[in-house]
């Protein structure tokens, strides 16, 4: 097997969702949440267990953690842009919040629930930021009254879009601890754990690279990993090939203009050409930003 990719959900959970690596999960969480939500210790509510893999296939490879102050965290890495992803994200946040309440408890026992979704695709084209935070706020005054709702999206593609495969270029882009973790997930192959720059030596990066290097899979885990990795490669290579073809046909300029102006008509034209090549709807969604319903109507 080639070097394991941490963006594949099975590997991600084996790195961050086990007891011996809780320090890595704490570092990841603290790089994302605000100062008031920082954690010094957590309890894993659904730690990764290889024995359970064959039984449940871990279809939702999320990581649930409880902070010592009662706040709950749900971290998951999403490989593909599924239909109605945003609805599913909100649904799992709601479950994280409501499952706290036992039959004998009152509503005052509920603590803040924070959803963290690391996405291997662009989900929010309206924002140039790769890290976005969502709350319920007043429409007219922006007041954040319902403070227990918080959802974070980390769009990996936005981070790496303009980053070359040179370590020097990558290092220039690393300004925050979250930048470092996103670089680990996307550009891990550029790092040498035994020769890290001084400013990266105490960030948990070395341990994460070591865990990735020595990680082993059972046969069932390997089957699941290879299946998910295949999807990643198909998606990446298909979009790359289309971009090359589009440039040859003079469509690249139209795509850039369409993105800049946000014209749905141009996106639909691009989608039509992709569909004629029998490219999967999920890949067309990722490449154009159109919803499944919009593509099915074409």
Q: How many residues does the chain have?
A: 298
Domain ranges across the chain: 9-214, 219-296
Looking at residue 250, what is its pLDDT? 54
Q: Which residue has the higher pLDDT, 247 or 18?
A: 18
Looking at residue 255, what is its pLDDT? 55
pLDDT digits (tens, 9 = 90+) for 258-287: 455 555 677 777 777 777 766 667 667 766
Looking at residue 37, what is its pLDDT? 95
Residue 133 and residue 250: Cα distance in Å, rounded? 37
Tokens encoding 17: 């969702």
Residue 159 and residue 156: Cα distance in Å, rounded? 5
Answer whether residue 31 shows pLDDT above 60.
yes
3-class secondary structure, 113: strand
197 closest CA partner among 180, 217, 219: 180
């Amino acid at each position: 097997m080639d070097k394991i990719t941490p963006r594949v959900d099975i590997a991600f959970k084996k790195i961050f969702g086990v007891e011996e690596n809780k320090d890595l999960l704490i570092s990841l969480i603290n790089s994302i949440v605000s100062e008031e939500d920082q954690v010094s210790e957590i309890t894993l509510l659904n730690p990764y267990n290889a024995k359970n893999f064959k039984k449940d296939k871990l279809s939702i490879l999320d990581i649930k953690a409880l902070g010592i102050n009662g706040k709950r965290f749900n971290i998951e890495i999403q490989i593909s842009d599924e239909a109605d992803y945003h609805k599913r994200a909100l649904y799992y946040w709601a479950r994280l919040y409501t499952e706290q309440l036992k039959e004998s408890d009152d509503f005052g026992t509920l603590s803040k629930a924070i959803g963290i979704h690391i996405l291997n695709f662009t989900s929010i084209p309206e924002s140039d930021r790769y890290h976005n935070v969502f709350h319920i706020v007043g429409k007219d005054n922006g007041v954040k009254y319902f403070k227990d709702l918080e959802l974070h999206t980390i769009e990996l593609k936005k981070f790496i879009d303009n980053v070359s495969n040179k370590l020097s270029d990558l290092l220039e882009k690393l300004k925050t601890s979250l930048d470092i973790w996103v670089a680990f997930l996307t550009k891990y192959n550029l790092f040498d754990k035994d020769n890290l720059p001084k400013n990266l030596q105490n960030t948990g990066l070395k341990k994460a690279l070591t865990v990735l290097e020595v990680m082993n899979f059972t046969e069932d885990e390997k089957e699941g990993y290879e299946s998910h990795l295949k999807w990643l490669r198909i998606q990446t290579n298909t979009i790359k090939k289309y971009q090359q073809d589009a440039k040859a046909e003079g469509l690249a300029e139209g795509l850039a203009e369409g993105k800049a102006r946000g014209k749905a008509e141009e996106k639909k034209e691009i989608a039509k050409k992709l569909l004629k090549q029998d490219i999967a709807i999920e890949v067309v969604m990722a490449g154009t930003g159109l919803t499944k319903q919009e593509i099915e109507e074409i």
